[in-house]
Amino acid sequence: MNKIGLVGGGAREHIMAETLRKSGLDIVAFAHNLNPGIKKLAIKYNQIDESKVSDIAEEMSREGIDMAVVGPEKPLVLGITDLLEKKGIRVFGPDKKGAMIEGSKYFTRELLNRNHIEGNIKYQFIKDRDNASRVIESWEGDFAIKPVGLTGGKGVKVLGEQLGSRREAVDYAFELLEQYKEGFIIEERVYGEEFTLQAIVSKNNFIPLPLVQDHKKLLDGDNGPNTGGMGSYSMEDGNLPFIPEYDKIKAVKIMKDSIDAMRREGVNYKGILYGGFMETADGPLLLEYNCRFGDPEIINILTSLKTDFYSIVKGTIENNIDTVAFNPVATVCRYVVPRGYGTRPVENAEITVEDSLSSMDNPRIYYASVNMDNGGIYTTSSRSIAVVGYGSSIAVAEEKCGYGVGKIHGNLHSRTDIGKKESLERKIANIAALRKGYTHHTHP
Ligand code: GLY
């Protein structure tokens, strides 16, 4: 039996563990938290901070592991792939240079800029206070301020949302300059609907996966503070109802051009490339790249995946992917989070999951940032459990998912509108209104 090292303890890694286990692999887990789902599937569970990349590499080598899958961005950005490969362990995930695509927002914007890749937006890199005040005061229109490096999904603030005025923006910019030595970037604010396009990438392969839409805001109707993602859906045809085919093609091209540009510059990217896009009246614009699967987006992808996931992992590493096929199902995933998540989450609160839910095929549940103690499951400050439903239509998938969420109890919160008809109609109407108001836009 092959042993595989799995780094990360969220729902993303739980679903990976489940699919790898189905392919007969013995999982050795490495995660900071004790994820009950992964614990059940793994032959060995090492509770360790995922940023201790040297220790993880040592332990994998001692365990005789010859292949590893890395879920979260932090160990990738810290160079876990390079360390493991030096020890002869093959890795599904980019090396340190490749992971720069998420590790530095400045690197990504510059990559697109110098290679004349479409989808870039107006931006400026700022490293000192004088420039910060000058650029913020004179910037035309609204903007977003983003720390350059990793901040665990936090740190992005938008004028008109989290920033009430330019004065506030300058104060925030100063705060960032104190906190992060890499500085920050200021970007034009773009309007539309966000969507996720992920691709499997190796030297000779670039395989786009079905489109998914995550919901970053805490509350129904896309209101409230930003979160790590409250839930996501995908459609049975792999597209989204507000993305025309030509814009999907554009987004694929932006990502492929970026990978090709990196290759020309000496970086052979391998693993998953996550493109976070805004569908605008101008078509898709790139908001960010991530160097790993999205969470929750991976849950939509692996729930509808027909091909054995391990064959994809192996094929990516060996640079010879045969096929990637999907079942024609829609999927809806909702996160259950501690009450107060996004501001003041209720930590260490017990969660109970009805027994019947744990053994169901549809819906399925995946544990995220929870801890197990004496057989009980407890919240942390982050997302708790992902519930996914699937079916021949989004209505069926949504209903299945909602049924599952109803079987989880505690001091918890979950959005109720993800994948619902009214929510999809609102998104379609939003894009239609933007396009109407835009007079210079032409399509091929
Ligand atoms: N769903 C957002 C992310 O994975 O970054």
Total structural domains in the chain? 3
CA 193 – ligand 1 centroid, Å: 15
CA 1 – ligand 1 centroid, Å: 32
Ligand 1 pocket check for 229: Cβ under 6 Å: yes
The dihedrals phi and psi of 204, each to the nearest 5 degrees, come to -105, 10
pTM above 0.85, yes or no: yes
Which pLDDT tens digit goes with each residue over 7-47? 999 999 999 999 999 999 999 999 999 999 999 999 999 99
Do 18 and 71 reside in the same domain of the chain? yes
Cα(20)–Cα(325) distance, integer angstroms = 17
pLDDT for residue 90: 98
Residue of 235, 367, 335, 226 lying closest to 288 (CA atoms): 226
Do 146 and 268 reside in the same domain of the chain? no
Mean pLDDT of 232-240: 98
Beta strand 330-338 pairing with 412-413: antiparallel
Do 74 and 148 reside in the same domain of the chain? no
Q: Which of 16, 198, 297, 334 to mutate to test the pocket of ligand 1 (most atoms within 8 A of CB)?
A: 297
- Is the pLDDT reported for residue 442 higher than 60? no
pLDDT for residue 375: 87
Q: Which of 196, 198, 288, 302 to mutate to test the pocket of ligand 1 (most atoms within 8 A of CB)?
A: 196
Do 215 and 258 reside in the same domain of the chain? yes
| Domain assignment present for 40 | yes
Q: Which of 182, 211, 227 is the last residue of a domain?
A: 182
Ligand 1 pocket check for 214: Cβ under 6 Å: yes
pLDDT for residue 154: 77
Mean pLDDT of 142-162: 89
Do 199 and 69 reside in the same domain of the chain? no
Do 7 and 136 reside in the same domain of the chain? no
Do 264 and 157 reside in the same domain of the chain? no
Do 135 and 238 reside in the same domain of the chain? no
Both tokens of residue 432?
């239609």
If one compares 437 and 214, the residue with the highest pLDDT of the two is 214
Which pLDDT tens digit goes with each residue over 267-307? 999 999 999 999 999 999 999 999 999 999 999 999 999 99
CA 255 – ligand 1 centroid, Å: 17
| Domain assignment present for 354 | yes
**Which protein residue has the closest C-alpha to ligand 1 atom 4?**
294
Paired with 285 in beta bridges are: 278
Do 347 and 295 reside in the same domain of the chain? yes
pLDDT for residue 303: 98
pLDDT for residue 444: 31
- Is the pLDDT reported for residue 58 higher than 80? yes
| Domain assignment present for 108 | no
CA 197 – ligand 1 centroid, Å: 11
pLDDT for residue 1: 59
Do 61 and 148 reside in the same domain of the chain? no
| Domain assignment present for 197 | yes
Do 40 and 74 reside in the same domain of the chain? yes
Please report, for the domain that includes residue 295, its CATH number. 3.30.470.20
pLDDT for residue 440: 40
Please report, for the domain that includes residue 19, its CATH number. 3.40.50.20
| Domain assignment present for 174 | yes
| Domain assignment present for 122 | no
pLDDT for residue 116: 98
| pLDDT bracket for residue 439 (50, 70, 90) | very low
Ligand 1 pocket check for 275: Cβ under 6 Å: no
| Domain assignment present for 228 | yes
Question: What average pLDDT does the structure give for the chain?
Answer: 95
pLDDT for residue 182: 85
Q: State which residues form the domain around 77.
A: 3-93
Mean pLDDT of 339-344: 93
Percent of the chain with pLDDT over 90: 91
Ligand 1 pocket check for 13: Cβ under 6 Å: no
pLDDT for residue 152: 77
| Domain assignment present for 121 | no
- Is the pLDDT reported for residue 226 higher than 60? yes
Mean pLDDT of 329-357: 96
Do 266 and 288 reside in the same domain of the chain? yes
- Is the pLDDT reported for residue 162 higher than 50? yes
**Residues of 346-375 as b/e, b for ≥16 C-beta within 10 angstroms?**
beebebebeeebeeeebbbbbbbbbbbeee
Assign residue 129 a region (left: φ > 0; alpha: ψ between -120 and 50; beta: otherwise): alpha
**Which protein residue has the closest C-alpha to ligand 1 atom 2?**
294
